[in-house]
Amino acid sequence: MERVEEFKVGDWVRVRPTLTTAVHGLGSVTPGSIDIVYCIRPDNGLLLELSYLPNPWHCEPEEVEHVEPFRIGDRVCVKRSVAEPRYAWGGETHHSVGRIIEIESDGLLIIEIPNRPVPWQADPSDIEKVEDFKRWKVSPGDAEVLSGFEVGDWARSKPSVGTRPSYDWLSIGKESLAVVHSVQDSGYLELACCFRKGKLKTHHTDIEKVSRLKIGQHVRFRAGLQEPRWGWRGAQRDSQGVIISVDSDGELRVTFFGVSGLWRGDPSDFEIEPTFEVGEWVRMTDNSSVWKSIGPGSIGVVQGIVYEEDIWAGNISVCFCGEQERWVGPSAHLEKVNKLTNGQRVRVKASVTHPRFGWSGHIHSSIGVISAIDADGKLRIFTPSGSKSWMLDPFEVEVVEQEELRIGDWVRVKPSVSNPTHHWGDVTNSSMGVVHRIVDDGLWVAFCFLERLWLCKNWEMERVRPFVVGDKVKIKTGLVSPRWGWGMETHTSKGQVVGVDANGKLRIKFQWREGKPWIGDPADIVHDETENPKPES
């Protein structure tokens, strides 16, 4: 056999993004990192002097790939996919463009950015060349001054503009609303008003966006309005109506209760009448009265608005969990709440002694996943440990927040999981592995004692503290036999991690021992808190 790809000193390379394990160990190396070949060993192995490592990293040629090099003079910026670069921002943004003025031997880029007193250093993995902007149809410098307005947006004069808005905005009144008709490259906009012929021209810095009025919204006349733009025409100050149509210049057609025909109006004469939409989740306010099994705090789903002889008196129809009859009452007794969704993890509130539909073999500490939601909000819960169908009232549960797992996280099976979806195999609750792949709710985890990745559901796993090079460690108390034997070590042995593979396998240098490092399963090892206290989260 012979190698099909050759490297030489000075080549720019990338650690293959799909790399999960390395012949000589990954250690603290991040797949996808970019660097310059520092040395080629007699056995054709490579040494990379990554900018964030104290010592060169030994790897095999198959573990890296060629990339286009950076050169002094290149105009660059931070990749859009990088939220936080390895070397912290210093007032820059993704739109900041600089020029490479120096490249250090380990690939670290020294970048000169206009209006910055000192150069900025950056990991090459976080940087891209500005030529890529040509595919976005906009230069980085222009990205800062785009108006942010689109045709169809509603706008009004900014309060900070004072009494002298740009151009002739003053002629239509500072409280007036307009609709964006066109957007020009120069930053100027053309606006359309329902009561003005022709278009109004203004600069985008003089106006601000406002929420547009929509068909179906309930409206009432604005407080303090002396007279609508085209007169009252049968409407009253306390009249309430529903928007039937909205023209491209913002003009409204409203149907008022007790007023025949459609009423023409200026949008600046109205304000939205607070109400609830069908399907919204609501909660009974604390001052609400008890109705059947429903009382303050109860959660239900809005079914509609109740009219009496074509007049809305403010009543709403709500379907509450466990009641066949719909509740009808004033909207003032309801408030919006966040809607629960399938896939959320929940548990019964500590304040709930007896759930409406029973425990079904579960307890307060049981955590389940919402698998279905009925029209009245009733929750159907799935738990790995439960064999019975578990139903809960949404009022009785609280959401269990869990930070999303990511590739590279160290994990283990939660203690509450007694039978994983895809079975245990050789894995146990104490096994510690590393997330290798994520697809929807499925995780593929690498364990040091398995040749293949282990498949599970993300809600079955929990994040654990990882081991990193330099950690002070000791043998776990009560361990009967380490996975790969004791060697010369005992329960009193203490050492330091000198290597960590991508599957979690540890290499430990124990005190007073010479020779090769001790190979261990992370499940057999614990951090020595007397030497390296647990970092604050």
Q: What is the pLDDT of residue 179?
A: 92
Would residue 241 count as lying in a domain? yes
Would residue 110 count as lying in a domain? yes
Q: Is 124 within 8 Å of 34 (Cβ atoms)?
A: yes
Mean pLDDT along residues 350-367: 89
Q: Is the pLDDT of residue 55 over 80?
A: yes
Residue 296's pLDDT band, with cuts at 50, 70 and 90, is very high
CA distance 476 to 524: 6
Q: Which strands make up the sheet holding 442-446, listed edge to edge?
A: 454-457, 442-446, 433-439, 410-413, 461-463
Residue 222's pLDDT band, with cuts at 50, 70 and 90, is very high
Query: Got the DSSP string for 280-344?
Result: -EEEE-TTPPPBTTB-TT-EEEEEEEEEETTEEEEEEEEEETT-SSPEEEEGGGEEE-PPP-TT-
Residue 139's pLDDT band, with cuts at 50, 70 and 90, is very low
CA distance 218 to 211: 14
3-state secondary structure 334-363: EEECCCCCCCCEEEECCCCCCCCCCCCCCC
Residue-wise pLDDT for 11-24, tens only, equals: 899 898 878 888 99
For residues 513 and 3, which has the higher predicted lDDT (pLDDT)? 513
Q: What is the pLDDT of residue 531?
A: 64
Residue 353 β-bridge partners? none
Would residue 533 count as lying in a domain? no
Are residue 17 and residue 58 in the same domain, yes or no? yes
Q: Is 508 within 8 Å of 486 (Cβ atoms)?
A: no
Would residue 22 count as lying in a domain? yes
Would residue 3 count as lying in a domain? no
Residue 143's pLDDT band, with cuts at 50, 70 and 90, is very low
Are residue 454 and residue 479 in the same domain, yes or no? no
Mean pLDDT along residues 366-376: 87
Are residue 17 and residue 48 in the same domain, yes or no? yes
Q: What is the pLDDT of residue 133?
A: 47
Q: Which amino acid is at 131?
A: E
Percent of the chain with pLDDT over 70: 90
Q: Is 272 within 8 Å of 217 (Cβ atoms)?
A: yes
Residue 145's pLDDT band, with cuts at 50, 70 and 90, is very low
Residues, the chain, total?
537
Encoded tokens for 183: 């957007």
Among 265-269, 274-278, 469-473, which stretch is predicted with the lowest mean pLDDT?
Answer: 274-278
Q: Is 299 within 8 Å of 316 (Cβ atoms)?
A: no
Q: Is the pLDDT of residue 164 over 50?
A: no
Are residue 203 and residue 165 in the same domain, yes or no? yes
Are residue 62 and residue 90 in the same domain, yes or no? no
Residue with tokens 């079975």: 423
Q: Is the pLDDT of residue 4 over 70?
A: no
Q: 188, 148, 150, 146: which is closest to 167 by C-alpha? A: 188
Number of domains in the chain: 8
Q: What is the pTM of this model?
A: 0.44
* CA 143 to the chain's CA centroid: 24
Q: Give every CB contact of residue 112 below 8 A, 6+ residues apart in sequence.
A: 98, 99, 100, 101, 119, 120
Extract long-range pairs of 352-357: CB within 8 Å, 24+ residues apart. 352/396, 355/392, 355/393, 355/396, 356/293, 356/321, 356/322, 356/392, 356/393, 356/396, 357/322, 357/391, 357/392, 357/393
Q: What is the pLDDT of residue 165?
A: 46
The last residue of one of the domains, among 66, 88, 105, is: 66
Residue 388's pLDDT band, with cuts at 50, 70 and 90, is low
CA distance 394 to 348: 9
CA torsion sign, 334 to 338 to 342 to 343?
negative
Task: Based on DSSP, count helices (H) and strands (E) in the chain, helices before strands.
Answer: 1, 40
Q: Is the pLDDT of residue 310 over 80?
A: no
Would residue 517 count as lying in a domain? yes
Would residue 266 count as lying in a domain? yes
CA distance 148 to 80: 19
Would residue 45 count as lying in a domain? yes
Q: 113, 15, 128: which is closest to 64 by C-alpha? A: 15
Residue 141's pLDDT band, with cuts at 50, 70 and 90, is very low
Residue-wise pLDDT for 21-47, tens only, equals: 889 988 889 888 998 888 888 888 899
The last residue of one of the domains, among 183, 209, 235, is: 209
Residue numbers of the domain that contains 385: 344-399
Q: What is the pLDDT of residue 142?
A: 44
- Angle at the Cα of 499 (from 494 to 504), degrees rounded to 5? 95
Q: 387, 355, 446: which is closest to 21 by C-alpha? A: 446
Residue-wise pLDDT for 165-215, tens only, equals: 444 555 677 778 999 988 876 677 889 999 888 888 887 777 889 999 998
Residue-wise pLDDT for 454-463, tens only, equals: 999 888 888 9
Q: What is the pLDDT of residue 244?
A: 92
Q: What is the pLDDT of residue 384?
A: 66
Encoded tokens for 67: 């990339």
Percent of the chain with pLDDT over 90: 34
For residues 134 and 58, which has the higher predicted lDDT (pLDDT)? 58
